[in-house]
């Protein structure tokens, strides 16, 4: 599905070519800091995103992802650090800068009384070179609901509309904050195709997600945030380095579950065949697995995403959008 402009306006000269041809830096963050009361939510965070890249920011609840992203979007102030988004400081980015970014936030916008088509058309008017609203509605799979009022949509349909509203301005840089929450598997896969199509047209994408499969499928690079800093970054397939990807061989011997990490699993299997196989020649419960992105991620953040990682928001320190 191609999303075309409603006007003959050509793409901006700065728009990168697909495939990551020499482009500039879309996002540049150094030493970012943000404190809420006594809580240091962002604590010296560094991040760079090249034009045309899809970067997934991962991290447990309360790690500082949303705070960081909202600072980049210009919706939240910062206490310190250097931030450039499409070459500008979000604090001083004006209307023209804002029109170059798209935001799919966690909280839906409220256009409950409009139909889906009206809502997308309405939002398109805020942008100088919007996509065809009907094509966008189609791209997110909402054509059958185009004449339905927003308030009547299901949660997942509402989320798709959020995505439509975020992309109708044909942003150069798109922020996707947990975009597929509530999507059924089919819608999620369609959405992934859409994200790839956007990237192919040169859009830079910053994605935050708790869905490791989504990050692995979509991202060129992932950045893992913990306690307000990036603790690891790299392509999803090699995050954590070769050490983190050493295969794990597990088996049961004499009724006891055993496992061993080894770079030479075949040699270990030969040894086990001689020493741990039962009378039938089989090694009980034998499995050889290579750590997934999820395994590496959990190792990096110190265990499953849990309440332990999340601290309650301190009351009385709410900060309004900057």
Ligand X SMILES: Nc1ncnc2c1ncn2[C@@H]1O[C@H](COP(=O)(O)OP(=O)(O)OP(=O)(O)O)[C@@H](O)[C@H]1O
Closest CB to ligand X among residues 53, 177: 177
d(Cα 292, Cα 239) in Å, to the nearest integer?
A: 10
Residue 305: CB minimum distance to ligand X, A: 8
- Binding of residue 313 to ligand X (CB under 6 A): yes
- Binding of residue 66 to ligand X (CB under 6 A): yes
- Binding of residue 17 to ligand X (CB under 6 A): no
DSSP per residue over 261-283, as a string?
E-S-HHHHHHHHHHHT--TTSPP
Closest CB to ligand X among residues 45, 142: 45
Closest CB to ligand X among residues 63, 216: 63
Closest CB to ligand X among residues 135, 301: 301
Tell me whether residue 244 is exposed, middle or buried, using C-beta atoms within 10 angstroms of its C-beta: 0 to 12, 13 to 18, 19 or more. Answer: middle
Closest CB to ligand X among residues 61, 201: 61
The single residue among 28, 36, 118, 252 that binds ligand X, judged by CB under 6 A, is: 36
147-176 binders of ligand X (CB under 6 A)? none
At residue 282, what are phi and psi to the nearest 5 degrees?
-95, 150
Rounded (10°) CA dihedral 226, 228, 231, 236: 70
Neighbours of 107 (CB within 10 A): 7
If binding means CB under 6 A, how many residues of this protein chain bind ligand X? Answer: 17
283-312 binders of ligand X (CB under 6 A)? 311
Closest CB to ligand X among residues 65, 221: 65
Residue 286, classed as helix, strand or coil, is strand
Task: Build a one-symbol-per-residue string for 44-63: x at contacts with ligand X by CB under 6 A, - elsewhere.
Answer: ---------------x-xxx
- Binding of residue 40 to ligand X (CB under 6 A): no
- Binding of residue 38 to ligand X (CB under 6 A): no
Residue 163: CB minimum distance to ligand X, A: 18
Listed residue (231, 228, 263, 232) closest to 248, CA to CA = 263
Closest CB to ligand X among residues 63, 163: 63
Listed residue (34, 47, 46, 37) closest to 78, CA to CA = 34
- Binding of residue 117 to ligand X (CB under 6 A): no
The single residue among 29, 41, 173, 194 that binds ligand X, judged by CB under 6 A, is: 41
56 strand-pairing partners = 207, 222
Residue 39: CB minimum distance to ligand X, A: 5
Give strand ranges (E) for the chain: 25-36, 39-50, 54-58, 80-85, 101-104, 173-177, 204-208, 221-226, 229-234, 248-253, 256-261, 284-289
- Binding of residue 79 to ligand X (CB under 6 A): no
Write out the H or E segment, with its range, that includes residue 136.
helix 133-139
Residue 181: CB minimum distance to ligand X, A: 11
The single residue among 242, 254, 318, 321 that binds ligand X, judged by CB under 6 A, is: 318
Could you tell me the two tokens for 300? Answer: 């990096």
d(Cα 269, Cα 280) in Å, to the nearest integer?
A: 16
Residue 311: CB minimum distance to ligand X, A: 5
- Binding of residue 319 to ligand X (CB under 6 A): yes
Name the residues that contact ligand X, by CB under 6 A: 36, 39, 41, 59, 61-67, 311, 313-314, 317-319
């Amino acid at each position: 599905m191609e999303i075309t402009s409603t006007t003959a306006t050509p793409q901006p000269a700065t728009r990168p070519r697909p495939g990551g041809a020499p482009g500039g830096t879309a996002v540049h963050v150094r030493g970012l800091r943000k404190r809420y009361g006594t809580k240091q939510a962002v604590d010296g965070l560094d991040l760079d995103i090249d034009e045309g890249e899809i970067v997934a920011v991962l991290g447990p609840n309360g790690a500082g992802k949303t705070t960081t992203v909202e600072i980049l979007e210009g919706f939240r102030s910062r206490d310190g650090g250097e931030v450039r988004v499409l070459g500008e400081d979000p604090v001083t980015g004006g209307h023209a800068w804002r029109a170059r970014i798209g935001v799919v936030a966690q909280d839906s916008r409220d256009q409950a009384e409009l139909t889906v088509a009206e809502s997308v058309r309405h939002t398109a008017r805020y942008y100088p070179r919007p996509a065809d609203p009907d094509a966008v509605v189609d791209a997110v799979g909402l054509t059958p609901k185009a004449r339905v009022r927003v308030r009547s949509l299901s949660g997942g349909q509402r989320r798709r509309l959020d995505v439509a509203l975020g992309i109708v301005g044909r942003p150069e840089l798109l922020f996707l904050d947990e975009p597929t929450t509530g999507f059924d598997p089919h819608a999620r896969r369609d959405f992934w195709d859409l994200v790839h199509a956007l990237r192919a047209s040169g859009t830079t994408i910053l994605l935050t997600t708790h869905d490791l499969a989504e990050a692995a499928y979509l991202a060129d690079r992932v950045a893992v945030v913990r306690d307000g800093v990036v603790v690891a970054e790299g392509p999803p397939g090699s995050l954590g380095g070769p050490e983190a990807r050493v295969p794990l061989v597990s088996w049961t011997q004499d009724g006891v579950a055993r496992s061993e990490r080894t770079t030479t699993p075949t040699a270990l299997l030969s040894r086990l065949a001689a020493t741990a196989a039962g009378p039938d020649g089989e090694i009980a419960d034998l499995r050889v697995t290579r750590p997934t992105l999820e395994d590496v991620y959990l190792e990096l953040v110190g265990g499953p995403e849990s309440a332990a990682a999340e601290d309650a928001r301190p009351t009385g320190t709410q900060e309004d959008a900057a």
